[in-house]
Amino acid sequence: MAGDAKTSAEYIQHHLTNLTYGRLPDGSWGFAHSAEEAAAMGFYAVHVDSMAWSIGLGFVFLLIFGVTARKATSGVPGGLQNAVEMVVETIEETTSSIFSHKNPMVAPMALTIFVWVFLMNLMDLVPVDWLPELAVILGLSHMKVVPTTDVNITMAMALTIFVAVIFYSVKCKGVIGFTKELTLHPFPSVFAIPINFLLEFVTLIAKPLSLGLRLFGNMFAGEMIFILIAILFSSAIWFLVGGVLQWAWAVFHVLIITLQAYIFAVLSVVYMAQAHDVEDH
C-alpha cells in the first residue's frame, strides 16, 4: 500500500480525489492540495487529470487507427489491423441493425464512442498506486487516471449525445413535429398535454442520465474495489490474498470495461435512431 503513513480512510480518499485546479481560499488560483480545498473551489474548478487523460487517450485512438489505415494491406493483415477491422465490422453491423436511416455520421460516432470509452476504461487495469505515486514524485498532490470514474467526464459525453439527439429530432421532425411528440404522446388529446409533456420530458431527460450515470457508476465501483484490494497489500499476512483477488478482479474487469463501452455506443445509436423516427402525429 502506497503511503504507509496514511490510514485506510486517507488512502481511499487520496485515490478518489482529482487533481483540481481552481480558485484557492486566499483568492489565488492553483491546484488544490486536499479534497476539502477541491470542494471549496466550486463549479469553476477543473479536474486537470480527467481532462488530460481523456484528451490524451483520444489522441491514442486517432494514432492507432491512423497508423493502421496507412499500413493497411489487402494481403495477410497483422495483429493490429485484425483487431481494428474486427472492431470496425462489429460496430458497423451493430449500427446497421439498429439505425435504418441515412446519416453517415452515426456509424463513425458509434465507433469513436466505443474505442474512446474503452481506452478510458482500460486505464482501470493499471495498478492503482503506480501513476498516483509517480505524480506525487513529480510534485502533483493527486492523480486519478480513469476518466470514466469522474462523473463530469461521463456526463459531458452523455450531454453531447443528448444535444445531437435534440438537433436531429428537430431537423427530421421539424419544430412542430417534435413539439407534438412531446405533447400528444402517448395520449392524443389536447386535454392530456400536461400529462403527456411530463411523461415525455422524463423520458427525454432519462437519456443522458442513463448514459452518463451508468458508465460512471460501474467504473467508479470497479475502481473502488481495486483500491480496497490494494489496502490488503499493507499487511504481509494478506499480501498473497490481495494478489489473487487483484488478478481475479482484473480478469473479470476486462469484460466490464468492454461491455460498458459497448453499451454506451449502442444506446447512443438507439437514441439517434429514435431522433430520426418520423411518425404521423
Domain boundaries, the chain: 49-129+148-276
- Residue 3 is predicted with a pLDDT of 44
- Residue 270 is predicted with a pLDDT of 97
Residue 130: CB atoms within 10 Å: 12
Please identify every stretch of the chain with a pLDDT value under 70, giving residue numbers as ranges: 1-5, 279-281
The pTM assigned to this predicted structure is 0.93
Residue 29: CB atoms within 10 Å: 10
- Residue 281 is predicted with a pLDDT of 46
Q: List the catalytic residues.
A: 210, 214, 218
- Residue 114 is predicted with a pLDDT of 98
Distance from chain centroid for Cα 119: 10
- Residue 5 is predicted with a pLDDT of 60
- Residue 63 is predicted with a pLDDT of 97
- Residue 86 is predicted with a pLDDT of 96
